[in-house]
Amino acid sequence: MSFPSPIRTSDFEALRDSCGRVINNLRISVTDRCNFRCRYCMPENGMVWMKKSDLLTYEEIDRLARLFADLGVCKIRLTGGEPLMRKDLHRLVKRLAAIPGIGDLALTTNGYFLEEQANDLIRAGLGRVNVSLDSLDASTFNGLTRRDYYAKVWKGLEIVQGLGVGPIKINVVLIRGVNDDEIGEFGRLARARQYIVRFIEFMPIGLDDDWSSEKVVPAKEVVERLEKEIGTRLQPIERWGRQPADRYVFDDGIGEIGFISSVSEPFCERCNRVRITSDGKLRTCLFSLEETDLKGPLREGSDDEQLKHAILEAVWNKERGHLINRPDFVRPGRTMSQIGG
Ligand code: SAM
Ligand code: SF4
């Protein structure tokens, strides 16, 4: 679909697509590298990392983020790969926290380096942290991540909690037969620690993940199992809000649970996100088969209006929805770590 012409970016108080969705949430991947090897994300061996010179510099990320903020983006999440593997990430956080209009600056991490970096990141202006923790059993965790880092991730979590930032969210990718027997344990964690536990449905996007629809544990089933295990009903709190995560709280008000149900209950019609990969490609859907290169124009000297034009046009053409549940679904050619999950 062609973008309305002529393009007068000053007319846009918000970044919109052709379906009328307002895009205010930008996920920025800062690296494709990772020190874990989660089975649903990447293979143990053979990952070919991007060349360092292909990664956007912090100056380039800052410039793009400012343009997105001018166009109405108010939330930024840093991700990867493992974002804390990028040197001195707090320097980038400081720059992004200073952008007018960015009210929410968050990080998704595997937690390994939080022990060393959390203090600098929070002081630089990071507002929130999501930590991926797929099991509360050390041997299951180590099996899933192919690393023996369970205790260190917990150290990092404790440090973030001690710094008083929050709410801390725990991302759990549930895989039937692997960690779904821990649904109740995660419910108890949400109640005991005031972490928001978010169950993410296993998605067909990795390279080594052995995905099948039978391994997806649908949100509906998780709600039923949680209620049974905890003995308390869950009440929806933001069921039809703008957030992709559906949020619930236990009836007694203790313990929040979120769901990212991309497979069983796609939230495409409410999607408010776009992504920039670490090599500077704009992706308008996690499952996009096409990307818009921003790094090339950036490095070739495009001015702000030209870059905004490219952003507006790409966002205008954002996919109506993903096709996971259709026979003609085609997996994107990149892993979640390369896209920036
Ligand atoms: N390394 C960081 C981490 O693990 O939190 C950030 C990047 S990781 C790609 C972002 C999120 O994507 C994590 O919560 C991870 O569990 C999730 N993820 C990766 N592959 C997935 C898959 N196939 N299905 C569902 N979620 C996935
Ligand atoms: Fe690394 Fe995150 Fe992928 Fe796990 S999910 S391999 S921690 S990028």
Tell me the per-residue pLDDT of 172-213, one tens digit each, with 9 for 90 and over.
999 999 999 999 999 999 999 989 999 999 988 866 667 888
CA dihedral 76, 79, 80, 84 (to 10 degrees): 120
Both structure tokens of 185:
């344990």
Measured CA distances, 272 to 55, 245, 322 (Å)? 25, 11, 14
The tens digit of pLDDT for each residue in 289-316 reads 789 999 999 999 999 999 999 999 999 9
Atom of ligand 2 nearest to the CA of 108: 2
Ligand located closest to 332 CA: 1
pLDDT at 7: 46
Instruction: Locate 267 and state its tokens.
Output: 């939230």
Give the SS3 label for residue 225.
Answer: helix
At residue 332 the predicted structure's pLDDT band, cuts being 50, 70 and 90, is: confident
* 41 Cα: distance to centroid of ligand 1 (angstroms): 7
Ligand 2: does its nearest atom lie under 6 Å from the Cβ of 171?
Answer: no
Query: What pLDDT, on a 0 to 100 scale, did the predictor assign at position 6?
Result: 41
Number of domains present in the structure of the chain? 1
Question: Does the residue 4 lie in any domain?
Answer: no
| 2 within domain boundaries | no
Residue 170 lies in a domain: yes
Does residue 36 line the site of ligand 2, with CB under 6 A? yes
Element containing residue 154 per DSSP (H, E) = helix 150-163
In a domain, 1, yes or no: no
Tell me phi and psi for residue 25, to 5 degrees.
-125, 120
Largest CA distance in the chain: 60
Strand order across the beta sheet in which 128-132 lies: 234-236, 246-250, 256-260, 196-201, 169-174, 128-132, 104-109, 75-79, 25-29, 273-276, 281-283, 292-293
Q: Which ligand is nearest to the CA of 84?
A: 1
- Copy the structure tokens of residue 57: 């510099």
Q: Which residue did the predictor score with more confidence, 214 or 334?
A: 214
Confidence of residue 265 (pLDDT cuts 50, 70, 90): confident
pLDDT (average), residues 17-39: 94
Sign, CA dihedral 142-144-147-153, equals negative
For residue 243, what pLDDT is reported? Answer: 56
Structural domain for 73, as ranges: 9-339
Is any atom of ligand 2 closer than 6 Å to the C-beta of 278? no
Of the bound ligands, which one is closest to the alpha carbon of residue 38? 2
Q: Is 41 in the pocket of ligand 1 (CB under 6 A)?
A: yes
Residue 55 maps to a domain: yes
What CATH number did the domain enclosing 163 receive?
A: 3.20.20.70
Judge residue 28's burial from the number of C-beta atoms within 10 Å of its C-beta, 0-12 exposed, 13-18 middle, 19 or more buried. buried
To the question of pTM greater than 0.75 for the whole model, the response is: yes
CB of 18 within 8 A of CB of 314? Answer: no
Which segment, 17-31, 82-96, 257-271, is predicted with the most confidence on average?
82-96
Query: Does the bond joining 6 to the residue before it have cis omega, within 30 degrees of 0?
Result: yes
Per-residue pLDDT, 2: 55
Atom of ligand 1 nearest to the CA of 206: 23
Instruction: Report whether pLDDT(103) > 60.
Output: yes
**Helix 114-124 / helix 89-97 crossing angle, nearest 10 deg:** 20
- Tell me the backbone φ, ψ of residue 100, rounded to 5 degrees: -60, 135
Please give the pLDDT value at position 12. Answer: 45
CA of residue 341 to ligand 1 center, whole Å? 5
Does residue 281 contact residue 29 with C-beta atoms inside 8 Å? no
**Which tokens in the block code for residue 131?**
């930590």
Q: Which residues pair with 170 in a beta bridge?
A: 131, 197
